[in-house]
Each structure stands twice: as structure tokens, then as C-alpha cells.
Amino acid sequence: MAKDYYEILGLNKNASKDEIKKVFYKMAHKYHPDKKGGNEAKFKEMNEAYQVLSDDGKRSKYDQFGAGFENMGGFQGGQAPGWDFSGFSARGGQADGMEFDFGNLNDIFSDFFGGGMGGGRAQARRGRDISTEIQISFSDSVFGTERKVLITKTSKCASCGGSGAKDGTKMETCKHCNGQGKIREQKRTIFGNIASTKICEVCLGTGEVPKEACDKCKGKGVLRREEEISINIPAGIHDGEMVRMTGHGEAVSKGTAGDLYIKINVTVHPLFKREGNDLAMNLNLKLSDALLGTKYSVQTLDGDIEVTIPEGVTMNEILRVRGKGVPYGKGKRGDLLIKLHIKLPDKLSRKSREIIEELKKEGI
């Protein structure tokens, strides 16, 4: 059944736009779901009526087509045009092709349900996160290291320690908010007087201001400067990993600094590659050493060591040296994996050929 929008708002068809607006605001104040005794269904219905009757074009179509208006793709009753009651935020919307523009309702309901309500809780001030990147050696990525970087950013004033007060002077109670850190305001709206609380713009919520401002930062407590930061790079870090340093990002007055993110770029090693917590390397052997066995001096990240090559090793066989890999856990380390490559001679001497021929006869 078609709805009578005039009846819903208790108006006659000759009602002016001012009368429609006045009646709607009065009913909105009474039936809004957030009010004690409010009625969500009623509120949606009267809001639907107001969106049509407050717009000259839509009202003209409604007056012209009457009960047939809802069947012409223009509007269907019972659907609230763009209201989201989960947060009571007014937004423009559509209902089956008809657009709704809430106009100044955004301002009205943002005052009623937004910044003015909810106890005036202020969001904690926090500085911006920043990032940089550094290059480290393969060995430093395995064992960890400390690096220092110079970064130009907004930092806490070194002269006043972030208080904004001149050295030797004290803080005093903010006169603007009487030390409360918040300002309470009264606003006259169509719903009556609305009390709101906001953060004090003078002391930024602290309730204190410098008795005499710092000469360096002019009382802000922060200023843009070059700062040297020490970065502890943990053992076993991988190429491309990020180190996060809490509170080393951009600073803000009377708030918490953001974080600093450092991307670690690891230089490729000419000999070693990582395989999890193990280090892998290749070792080239002469054919005779592979057959007879021997000892080789092998480079590790801890220094050179001597490795025994058993006789009769095969191509691509892997020797494992315990505890020469990447540190992890509490006092643990991965292993060094040595992959053996047997180098065959490009050309045989007459004597070598004779020896091999004899081996061939013996089935070797």
C-alpha cells in the first residue's frame, strides 16, 4: 500500500518547506533511536517522507502520481534512504534509483551524535611513522651488529626535553581550561542545548603550559632536527626484513612519537648462501683427492678450519660441519654444508692415461 507522506508528518498538502522542515526536526528529536523512548521504525518512515517532501522535484512527482509513484521506479516505501544506525551517521544514498541528499542534516547529526557526544574523549596524539633502509654485510646479518644512522625528522626538543618550558622555569596551570585539559561547550540546536567536550587547544589536554617558553622550540616541545639513532640489528636477520624501533618516528607536541621502520638490505656473499639456519658453500676437489681422501683448509665466517675429505667421495656429496651456521635461539647455531664438486682433468698425460687404463682393466 502506498504511503501518505503528508499524513506521516501530520501535514496538509499545502504545507510550506519551512513547515515541513520544522515538523520533521521536531519529530526527529522525539523518535530518534538514540533517544530514550525513540522509535527506529517511525524515525525511518518520517525520514523517508521528509526526503521526498523537502525536495521540490521529488514532491512534484509524488503529488502528480500519488499512489502510483512508488511503482514507477522512483521510490519504494519502507527503505530508509542511506541511514546507518550502527553508528547513527547520515550519508547520501539511493533507494531504487532515487538519490537522497541530506544537506545540512550531516551537520545536525554530527553535532548530536559525533564530536559533541560520547563524553568528549580525545584521541591520543601520535606522531607519524617513518622508514629508512640500510645496507649491511652478510657476516653482520648472521651475527648481528649495531649501526648508527642520521635522520632528519621532527624530534623531541633536546633543550627542554619536550616540555616546551625554558630551562630553569616551571609549568603552570592552563588558564584556558583551568587545568582540566578539556573544554566543555554548550550548543543550541534544533534538539535543544547539546553539551560537548573537546580537548583544550592551548595545553593539548595536559592541563599545563610553560610559564616561560623554550627558546629553541618556542614552547612546542618538538622541532625538526637531525638525530643520530643507534639500531640494534639482531643475529640471523634476512635480506629485506624490517626492524621496528618504537617511539623513534616523528614526534608531536604533548603526544607519543611514531615508530621508525628500518629495511635491512644484505650484501650477497661470494662464497656462502643461507639455507634457513644453515650456511651452504661449494668446494672443488681434484679427482685424486676425491679418490684417495685428504684434508682441505676451508673458509668459514668464524675463520679458516681444516676439513677431512674421506676417500671415495662422490660428486655433489655434502659434508656437514656442526655449529658453523647462523645463530638462533639460546646459544644454538646452524651448520655449515659443504657441497663437493669433483674437477675432472681437461687433458690426460700419457702416464695418467696408462694408469687409468690399468684401473679400467681392474674394473675400477
How, if at all, do strands 192-199 and 182-189 pair?
antiparallel
SS3 string, 93-161, reads EEECCEEECCCCHHHHHHHHHCCCCHHHCCCCCECCCEEEEEEECHHHHHHCEEEEEEEEEEEECCCCC
User: Environment class of residue 245 by beta-carbon count within 10 Å: exposed (0-12), middle (13-18) or buried (19+)?
Assistant: middle
The answer to whether the beta carbons of residues 224 and 152 sit under 8 Å apart is: yes
Binding residues: 157, 160, 174, 177, 200, 203, 214, 217
Rounded Cα distance between 286 and 52, Å, is 93
Our CA angle for 97, 99, 104, nearest 5°, is 165
Binding residues for Zn(2+): 157, 160, 174, 177, 200, 203, 214, 217
Q: DSSP 3-state assignment of 199?
A: strand
Rounded Cα distance between 289 and 321, Å, is 19
What are the helix and strand counts (H, E) for the chain? Answer: 8, 21
What region does 19 belong to: left with phi over 0, alpha with psi -120 to 50, or beta?
alpha
What stretch of H or E contains 23?
A: helix 17-31
Closest CA to 33 of 46, 20, 44, 24: 44
Strand partners, 275: 278
Distance in angstroms between the alpha carbons of the first and the last residue of the chain: 101
How, if at all, do strands 130-136 and 260-266 pair?
parallel
Helices (DSSP H) in 201-319: which residue ranges?
A: 287-292
Rounded Cα distance between 88 and 85, Å, is 4
Strand partners, 223: 155
